[in-house]
Amino acid sequence: VRLALRNVMALILMLLSVFTMLIMFNLAYALNKSSEYISGAQMEGRYYESELRYDFMMQALSEDLSEGQSEVTTYSKSACELQFGKKKDSMLRQTVGAFDESQKLFELIDKKGKVIPFPKEGEIVVSEHIATVYHMNQDDIVKIRIGEETEELKITGVARNAESNCVYMQKEQLKQMLGYSKEAYCGIVSNAVLSDEDALVITREEREKELLRNSVSNQMSAVIVQVMGCVIGCILLLLAVALNFNSNLSDMRILRMLGYKTKEIRHLLVDVYKPVILVGFFLFLLPALGVVKIILNSLSMQIEEYLHFETGVGVNLLIFGIIWIIYFAIQGLYGREKRKR
């Protein structure tokens, strides 16, 4: 331990490399799993084959769309501002949506996979993105502002399958705040593929393709982060090993002259940082996971998309194994070069 502490800079670099790789590899894993989680969640509870989105409020459902064998339901959406926090001094611009309670084409699903009842008057359901990033919990009271109208609503659920920046309230209460009739709507979902010249039509297949594209993008980001983590970790470990060897060269020569074997010298002067890596790994594991959560929340706020945090014992054991292998590989290569010289 004294020998390890003697070269403070090498010790710092060694611990820094462990901390950096823990952050980068866990971040890459979280980004990769997040893309899978979001893709799956965004298709849950959606039993419709097509969605029609209008840029303006329609006053009544046309006969062409309402007639026929297919099941059709309308929904309403509007821009809104959420005020939250103890003093309701934090403001967040979001989208509020509302569906009929009786329809069966769309359900809100919670984190455990259970169906959340659609909000009644005075209630609101928020997305997992909003709840996680802005620390909102069930039973919290928030203020919602739509135009000039403001209401206080109670959070009755957190939906994992909700769109990232969307909250849901009772349809009648939303229309009342907007000042529209009960028949007004700005979107339609159906279990058949519908078409309308005035609407943007999104089929189930198109939605799945879009989610897949986003998933591939996140996975590419994860690969880049993994490569960066490996490169930075390798550089820091290389510097630490180099400092250790260079500072102990004279001691190695003296021990050789005294008749010590190579294995004994290695054990005395080179392998002293093995416990440092082990202690550093367990010491920095929880802080590194905390940093990853902060990074994901910060990114979620910036890109306005939910980035789900996930880790596991297996992935962290794999990270430890990677660090261990990299350390021994660098140590072996550097030691061989020094012996050649």
* Residue range 203-247, pLDDT digits in tens: 999 998 888 887 777 778 778 887 888 788 788 877 777 776 666
Distance between CA atoms of residues 33 and 336, nearest Å: 40
Convert 267-286 to b/e letters by CB count within 10 Å (16 or more is b): eebbebbeebbeebbeebbe
Is residue 103 scored above 50 in pLDDT? yes
Mean of the per-residue pLDDT values of the chain: 83
**Mean pLDDT calculated for residue range 173-200:** 88
Other beta carbons within 10 angstroms of residue 214's beta carbon come to: 15
pLDDT at 269: 60
Secondary structure letter of residue 46 according to DSSP: B
The residues near 177 (Cβ < 8 Å, ≥ 6 apart) are: 146, 147, 149, 151
34 within 8 A of 307, measured Cβ to Cβ = yes
321-330 per-position pLDDT tens digit: 988 888 777 7
Question: What is the DSSP code string of 281-313?
Answer: HHHHHHHHHHHHHHHHHHHHHHHTS-------H
**Mean pLDDT calculated for residue range 267-293:** 83
118-171 per-position pLDDT tens digit: 999 999 999 998 898 888 889 999 999 998 899 999 999 999 999 888 999 999
pTM for the full model? 0.78
Q: Which residue has the higher pLDDT, 227 or 289?
A: 289
pLDDT at 167: 94
The region of weakest confidence among 172-186, 192-206, 319-333 is 319-333
25-84 per-position pLDDT tens digit: 898 888 888 888 888 888 999 999 999 999 888 877 766 665 655 788 899 999 999 988
pLDDT at 55: 87
pLDDT band for 341, please (50, 70, 90 cuts). very low
Is residue 263 scored above 90 in pLDDT? no
- CA atoms 205, 75, 194, 49: torsion sign: positive
pLDDT band for 5, please (50, 70, 90 cuts). low
> Which residue has 């074997």 as its token pair?
261
